[in-house]
Each structure stands twice: as structure tokens, then as C-alpha cells.
Amino acid sequence: MTDLPQLELDLMAAIGGADDLAALDAVRVSALGKTGVVSGLLKGMGAMSPDERREQGPVINGLRDRATAAIAARKTELEDAALEAKLAAETIDLSLPARPRRKGSVHPTLQVMDELIAIFAEMGFAVAEGPDIEDDFHNFTALNFPPKHPAREMHDTFFLKPDPETGERKVLRTHTSPVQVRTMMSQTPPIRIVAPGRTFRKDSDATHTPMFHQIEGLVIDKGIHMGHLKTTLTTLVARFFEVDDVQARFRPHHFPFTEPSAEMDIRCDRSGGKLTLNTGEDWLEVLGCGMVHPNVLRNCGLDPDEWQGFAFGMGVDRLAMLKYGVPDLRPMFETDVRWLAHYGFTAFQAPNPASGLS
């Protein structure tokens, strides 16, 4: 006859001594499995007399129930311990510095774009945008380009395939001036806007790329004259290069969309591979400008006898080269993270006139 009290003591000791789920399951199988010791006692009740069955049945069933409950309780303990160990192993100490990760930087072109927009915003200019793909009217005709103007030819302009129905050839805009046209046609003066964005021309060397960035400005109001233009641009250049004043000259030039037209030069010294403003005998061309041509005003639905204005445009990438010493324009578009790590800017300090631009 099996010693049931001793068997229960041995089972409880084995359950309590199981140090993982696999060992506990082995104890369960040896006690409660098909060939387990407790299962064998339950099967043996069929051979007992009725009196023995009434006496031993409750005892054996009680042993089975207590063993089952003990195994379930121990399983819960082991699962909880395993979860705690896993959580402890996966804990992140937030007091320690994070693992080194690849650092992102603001591209010099976008840095300069933000600097210029911050300066213009302080001067009362709003930002206007337009599509990269333009039609002939907005890119050329409205801006007073004659039908045979060289800028319309294939060596300057990226033309798209002709429309199968109309035969019209759209272009990748060659300047952001179409934004000025769209603004004049959709808004009632006075107008004071800048138009930053991408432009496209067939050109590639150390200072030119097929895709580049421009920012153009437009002011339309009554009584606007060349003095307003010169003051605006000299103030802009001085603030951009962060100097008190800038020595500038305006050379007569020709643009189809302005009359009179000029290019703005600033006095500089480029000896020793460094650009120094307001000294030396060199002059550096930085932008083109002029008074809006009366034909452009008429094309946009404005009366040139009532409204006057000025416009200007500059290459953002080239200004970035001048201010931050980038020797070649082409690497600015080659997506080399080493170049960006050297010339890039932190994203946590947005340019503003109060705390500084660069």
C-alpha cells in the first residue's frame, strides 16, 4: 500500500524545487501524466472493494487536487520571475547618453534660404510659391521675352514633350519670375513678396548646375522708384553678410522684364582665398535687379501709369558659396554625407535677426 502522506511530501518538495518551467512540467508528467504516480492510484481504485474505495477515494482525489494547485501556483511564480528577468535585461538607463547615431545637418542652400527669408520677413515681405513646371506664357511671354529670344532655345531651357492635343510644350521653369507673374495676376497691389524655389537650366560647371535655387523679390505700389530698390538691396546684402554697411555699385544691364535694369556688385578683397567685404579693389556681382517693365505690368493686367515696381533675383546656392567658403557648386548636389557633415548646420537653431543668422 502506497504511503500517501509521504508521497504528497515528496511531490510538494519536487514542485517547490523546480527552478524552471521545463523542470516543473517534468514533475507534472511524473505525477499527473497518463503513467504518473497519482494517475496510477486513481486507476487502481477500480480494483478496490467498496469500503476501501469510500475510504481511499477522497484521499487520492484530494492529493491530485492539491498537486494540481501547487503546480499551477509554481508555474505562475516561475513565469513572473522570467518576465521580471526579461524586463530587467531590457531596461534602458535614460540617465546615460544615447548611442552615437548618424547626425543630420541642414544643407547650406536651405540655411541660406532660411536666412534670406528671415531678413525679408523683417522687411515686410511675404513668401510666394509656384509650380516647377510652367507654360510658355508665365515663364517667357508675360515677362516680355521676344518670340526668338535666346533664353527660349534648347541650350538654356528644359522643354517637356509637346501636348498631343494642343502641341504646347511645357518647360521646367528657368527662374522663379513666373511666381511674380502669378502673384500680380491674382492679387491687387500693393504687393511685396519674395519667391524662393528650384529652377532649371542646361548648364554645368564649378559655379553652375542644371538644377539650382533662386530667390526673387517683387514690390508693386504707387510711387516706387530706383531709390527704393537700391536701399532694399543694400540693406539686404549688409544683413545677410552681417556687416554694418556694404559698399555697392549698380551697373547698367539688360533684362527683358525690367527697365531700367542693373547688376549689383559689392566691393571685396579675395586675396588669400578669403572673401572680405568693403575693402580692396575687386567687385563681386551678387544679383540682378531693375524696375518692372511696363509691358510686364500690362501683361499681368496692371496699368503702368498707376502702378510701378521693382524686381530682383539672386542665386541662393552661389550666395552660400560666397558666405560659407564652398569652393565648388557641384558637391552641393552629390548627397555626400561627409561633405554635409563639414558644411552643414544644426537643425536646432533657426536663423532669425534677433539671435543671429549664421
Mean pLDDT for the stretch of residues 57-72: 83
pLDDT of residue 31: 82
- Dist. CA 304–CA 302, nearest whole Å: 6
Kindly give, in sequence order, each residue whose CB lies less than 8 Å from that of residue 154, ignoring residues fewer than 6 positions away.
Answer: 202
- Dist. CA 290–CA 292, nearest whole Å: 6
β-pair partners for 291: 310
How many residues are recorded in the chain? 358
- Dist. CA 273–CA 278, nearest whole Å: 16
List the one residue out of 121, 103, 109 whose CA is nearest residue 348. 103
**What mean pLDDT is reported for the chain?**
87
pLDDT of residue 87: 85
Please name the helix (run of DSSP H) or strand (run of DSSP E) that holds residue 308, with its range, or none: strand 308-315
Query: What backbone torsions phi and psi does residue 201 show, to the nearest 5 degrees?
Result: -150, 155
Please name the helix (run of DSSP H) or strand (run of DSSP E) that holds residue 118, with its range, or none: helix 108-122
**Do the Cβ atoms of 18 and 78 come closer than 8 Å?**
yes
Report for 22-26, 71-75, 248-252: range of highest mean pLDDT: 248-252
The x, y and z cell numbers of residue 250, run together, are 549698380
Domain 108-343 has CATH 3.30.930.10: yes
pLDDT of residue 27: 84
Q: Give the model confidence (pLDDT) of 85-120 as tens digits.
A: 888 888 777 777 766 666 678 899 999 999 999 999
- Dist. CA 159–CA 357, nearest whole Å: 38
Mean pLDDT for the stretch of residues 325-342: 85
Grid-cell match 501636348, residue found: 163
Mean pLDDT for the stretch of residues 332-353: 82
154 pLDDT exceeds 70? no
**Do the Cβ atoms of 358 and 115 come closer than 8 Å?**
yes
Domain ranges, ordered by start, for the chain: 4-89, 108-343
Q: Give the model confidence (pLDDT) of 34-54 as tens digits.
A: 888 887 777 777 777 887 778
14 pLDDT exceeds 60? yes
Higher pLDDT pick, 309 / 4: 309
List the one residue out of 39, 40, 32, 35 whose CA is nearest residue 15. 32
- Dist. CA 323–CA 314, nearest whole Å: 14
- Dist. CA 272–CA 27, nearest whole Å: 86
- Dist. CA 132–CA 293, nearest whole Å: 24
List the one residue out of 317, 226, 323, 213 whose CA is nearest residue 268. 323
pLDDT of residue 355: 65
- Dist. CA 215–CA 193, nearest whole Å: 10
pLDDT of residue 155: 58
- Dist. CA 126–CA 8, nearest whole Å: 87
Kindly give, in sequence order, each residue whose CB lies less than 8 Å from that of residue 159, ignoring residues fewer than 6 positions away.
Answer: 169, 170, 171
Kindly give, in sequence order, each residue whose CB lies less than 8 Å from that of residue 268, ignoring residues fewer than 6 positions away.
Answer: 275, 276, 277, 278, 279, 280, 282, 283, 284
